[in-house]
Amino acid sequence: MSKGLPKREDDYSAWYNELVKKADLAENAAVRGCMVIKPYGFAIWEKMQQTLDGMFKQTGHVNAYFPLLIPKSFFSKEASHVDGFAKECAVVTHYRLKNSETGGVIVDPDAKLEEELIIRPTSETIIWDSYSRWIQSYRDLPLLINQWANVVRWEMRTRLFLRTAEFLWQEGHTAHATKKEAEAETLQMLDVYAEFAENYMALPVIKGMKTANERFAGAEETYCIEALMQDGKALQAGTSHFLGQNFAKAFDVKFANKEGQLDYVWGTSWGVSTRLMGALIMAHSDDQGLVLPPKLAPWQVVIVPIFKGDATVEPLTEACQQVARDLRKLGVSVKVDDRDSQTPGWKFAEYELKGVPVRIAIGPRDLENKTAEVARRDTREKSILPLDELASQIPDLLENIQANIYNKASAFRASKTTEVSTYEEFKHVLDNKGGFVLANWDGTTETELKIKEETKATIRCIPLDRDQKEGPCIRTGKSSNIRVLFAKAY
């Protein structure tokens, strides 16, 4: 294994792939398009899970689990839903293997399923089937359920974390008595995602609405958060769908309201996936490796003793452990790496690759002066601090790093967001600068597709928080009051 990473500017994809592997996050599995998430990568994902799960609970949601396998017939109950997913479904057709006469194992042709089963690409259908039995009255509503699960979408081309044939995610599925309530839920969860992205991932996002063309298959309206990566490409980091009564009608989910009249319930669904890991990696990391925001780092601090001869081993190890104990009392997660099988330099490089926010090194010199060397990962600055000040300074430093990473990403996004009014300008920005481009659009799918074909840029969203400006559509010149966010995207 060679030592450094490829340079970000030279080859962003190679840099990303190498980083994912060398930081010990994930690797390609034996199965095409599938990913093995390694313990260190999974520890970061677990932090995300715990945080999000807490936020879901606070907004009144509970967890449940639904089956991996979905009868094929369920799938076709909602017309646009099938159309959206049909091309990427893995299908189970048999339930038994047998020994082949020529050696090896074959699928037993006698064990063919009467009805094929689809490995869930998303769970709306199987969940709404349950809802049809669970919901009779307005008293059963709202039903606010989330599940943590894996899904399979048979993608042609895959990339670790960003697009894999199987991925982990959470999918919330809620049912409500009124349209208004369901719409409010959709927007509430969009806000939860945006808050998570900004406060925990240190990733600024733009909240917006998808165009009809980019809408979730089966939704009336799809909202999303869009983030910008360091190569100037956009990444959809989460989606929240207002399903209207589409799935209620498809699965016959009716409830009796207070007046005793039957009506279909209103639905929402929302999800984020291990793709967030990709976003986290691409948004903050540098040529030295991963840069993790302290709130999601499995170890916020790593402590490395620097031995000089056997006599120093014991006192240095004890000094490191003491600092670790002090920090842990403050709720800081700490790893002490006192292995003597690796040199300090090796460890420094290794923990930078893994993105540990703060590194503390203690050697004989420090022991004598009652100091420690403190290095922050985000700026790679080092300073010498008195040992007895570490406990008071490190928590502040971690907060400072969290804020700094966010501000850096935010400034980057600002520098890569351009407003344009002509198609020439639009194309010029996309080719030379990349990033987000705000422009007017005439609102038709036809124009949207033309622009995509001509420039590869797609409409990421119609931003919610920005003023809509009147102006001509950049492509057709037709008068338009829809100002949208374009970008080349992952």
Query: Closest distance between RNA and the C-beta of residue 337, in Å?
Result: 11
12 touches RNA (CB under 7 A): no
Of 359, 138, 177, 124, the C-alpha closest to 256 is 138
User: What residues numbered 329-348 form the site for RNA, per CB under 7 A?
Assistant: 340, 342-346, 348
Binding part of the chain for RNA, among 135-143, 154-162, 176-184, 246-254 by CB under 7 A, reads 154-162
Which one of 37, 145, 149, 165 is in contact with RNA (CB under 7 A)? 165
The two beta strands, 436-441 and 417-419, are: parallel
Q: What length does the chain have?
A: 490
Strands (E), 328-429: 334-336, 358-362, 371-376, 382-386, 417-419
Among 7, 11, 13, 80, binds RNA (CB under 7 A): 13
285 contacts RNA (rule: CB under 7 A): no
Taking only Cα atoms into account, the Rg of the chain, rounded to an integer number of angstroms, comes to: 26
Residue from 22, 61, 295, 413 in contact with RNA (CB under 7 A): 22
Q: Please identify, using beta-carbon distances, which residue of 53 and 155 lies nearer to RNA.
A: 155
448 scored as a contact of RNA (CB under 7 A)? no
Kind plus residue range of the DSSP H or E element containing 345: helix 344-353
C-beta neighbour count of 287 within 10 angstroms = 13
- Sole binder of RNA in the list 7, 180, 325, 380 (CB under 7 A): 380
Which of these, 45, 20, 49, lies nearest to 290 by C-alpha position?
Answer: 20
CB 476 within 8 A of CB 243: no
The reply to whether 481 sits near RNA by the rule CB under 7 A is: no
SS3 for 159? strand
Closest by Cα among 469, 478, 483, 474 to 455: 474
Write each residue from 29 to 68 as x if it is in contact with RNA (CB under 7 A), else as -, in one continuous string. Answer: ---x------------------------------------
The binder of RNA chosen from 42, 75, 128, 167 (CB under 7 A): 167
Work out whether 320 is an interface residue with RNA (CB under 7 A).
Answer: no
Q: Does 239 bind RNA (CB under 7 A)?
A: yes
Q: Using DSSP, state whether 300 is helix, strand or coil.
A: coil
Least Å distance between CB 308 and RNA?
5
- Choose which of 103, 104, 309, 331 interacts with RNA (CB under 7 A): 309
Determine the 3-state secondary structure of 324 from DSSP.
helix
At closest approach, how far in Å is the CB of 37 from RNA? 12
Closest C-alpha to 230, from 411, 412, 462, 105? 412
Question: Interface mask (CB under 7 A) for RNA, residues 449-468, using x and -?
Answer: --------------------
98 vs 120: CA distance, rounded Å: 26
365 binding RNA? (CB under 7 A): yes
Burial 165-204 (b: 16+ CB within 10 A, else e): bbbbbbbbbbbbbeeebbbebbbbbbebbbebbbebbbbb
Q: Of 19, 117, 282, 361, which lies in the binding site for RNA, with binding defined by CB under 7 A?
A: 361
From the CB of 11, what's the least distance to RNA, in Å? 10
How many residues belong to the site for RNA (CB under 7 A)? Answer: 57
Nearer to RNA, 265 or 461 (CB): 461
Question: Residue 477 Cβ, how far from RNA at the closest point, in Å?
Answer: 26
304-323 burial, b at 16+ Cβ within 10 Å, e below that, comes to bbbbeeeebeeebbebbeeb
The residue ranges that bind RNA (CB under 7 A) are 1-4, 13, 17, 22, 28, 32, 87-88, 153, 155-157, 159, 162-165, 167, 214, 216, 236, 239, 273-275, 288, 306-309, 313, 340, 342-346, 348-350, 352-353, 361-367, 372-373, 375, 380, 382
